[in-house]
Structure 1
Amino acid sequence: MPPYQAIAGELRRRIREGELAAGDRVPSTREITREWGVAMATASKVLATLREEGLVRAVPGVGTVVADAVRARRPGQELTRQRVVRTAMRVADAEGLAAVSMRRVAGEMGTSAMALYRHVRDKDELVCLMADAAYAEEPLPEPPPRGWRARIETSLRLQWRICRRHPWAVQATPLTRPQFVPHAMAHTEWLLRAVDGLGLDANTMLHVSVCLAGFVRGAAAGLEAEIQERAETGLTDDAWLRGQEREFATALASGVYPTLGRVVTQPGLDLDLDTIFEFGLRNHLDGLAVLVGRAAGRD
């Protein structure tokens, strides 16, 4: 038996025999590695297995806890495609897209996985529906703002808000292998219209729209990993940073990174994902203004 299955079996026993009750925190990945002497990847697989079975769930800022007993659906609470999608989104918001499966969603809803297939063809379709629902939460305004720069800024800010609320949306809407997600495609249409008529050829217009969308995804790329890390370890971002302070201080004091050490020790620094997005947005638009000016023969 693989080590992860043996450890999952032991934790499963503790849950079923009441040693770990609903709401109790189960060992984190770090605690599993210490108690059983396994690698972090094995510990992560243990918790993933228990989540897949619906025995545990992630609680932001707390860690992984024993799930409440599955409740039967209330009379009149029909199983619909919309409810399936919304339940899957809640799982992904708390634990990342990897935690979403037909079996897991069914467990959250108090039904069987087979019942879900009457509403959703498979996980791939479910993920597309989740992404479409996420983008639908931030509709593009009509009429659009005047001017290409204002129009692009509007789209990118809305996309950023979607990624902040649903970090898994980055993984659900890849740029190189796009899926049929109508509300996400509306942003591509919006960006193309913003630069249409500015003297750019079709290839450049397409590259502009994809690169701008890629900028948002790049800024949001680490968000889902942070969710998964919090779910598995129970550590908030601040707690994780505090745990790294001594190691970073030692590295900076070594003199190997003199410029980095000088910069990051300056007072008044303000760096987080939102300031990174704002900095990148401003400079991407400034760079595009140069490209548009060249196309118009003004440079």
Structure 2
Amino acid sequence: MRVIHTLAELREALAGQTNTAFVPTMGNLHEGHLSLVREAARLGGPVVVSIFVNRLQFLPHEDFDQYPRTLARDCELLAPAGCDIVFAPSEAELYPVKQTYKVTPPAGLADLLEGEFRPGFFTGVCTVVMKLFQCVQPAVAVFGQKDYQQLKVIKGMAEQFAMPVQVIGAPTVRADDGLALSSRNGYLGTDERLEAVALSKALQHLADAARDPKQTLAGMEAAAAEELRQRGWAPDYLTLRRRTDLLPPTDAERAAGEPLVALGAARLGATRLIDNLEL
């Protein structure tokens, strides 16, 4: 496995490759990331994993400076998972001048849910992913379904720009108690870690109620949020949406079996966690 820090060296290493598989990350890797790498390796071709903490997707009050940088440990994990190249550029390498050209996704998809609570987040995500796609020029890119809205945004970007890359979503990896694996789980204290699984349980309760015609959408969502609030959480949203466009389903669509997804974001202490559950 090679660790590459410059775009020139990356392009030299990938010269002539037409079936590269790519997994973009911000590092501080866990089993969820490694499952994406193994999926990329299964597809054949060289596997490139990028490690870059992208300033553009952090709001001013968020944890950009505190976000863990663990490159040496990450590389130890990546080699046996099937990674061939780690692309770990510095900020000056990826953004040699101020990034004034940016990719702005459609408000109808990007300004709800995560976009409502983290304004500009998906512009930062799309901009760095577009740039990394141009650097790596992969045939396929693998993203986790835990970031459900992000996956939809990136798929839409690749399709609308006719990018020659297939964007694949891989299932969320969970701990034994059901907590979705996340780099931010490392911020949780011992008691908070035990409590954190309540988010996935609240989403399961929301999903269980979704097909009950006696339940209103607003009532179900309010009950799910209150379930967490009573346990000391600060919910941003717990909601039921159509998988196709992440808009709220009608009662008729719920009754007819429209593919739905329950999504949630909430703070437990100082840590903001997200999760989702398809139904």
Query: Shorter-normalised TM-score: what interval?
Result: under 0.3
TM-score under structure 2 normalisation? Answer: 0.25
Structure (1/2) with the larger helix percentage: 1
TM-score under structure 1 normalisation? Answer: 0.23
Structure (1/2) with the larger strand percentage: 2
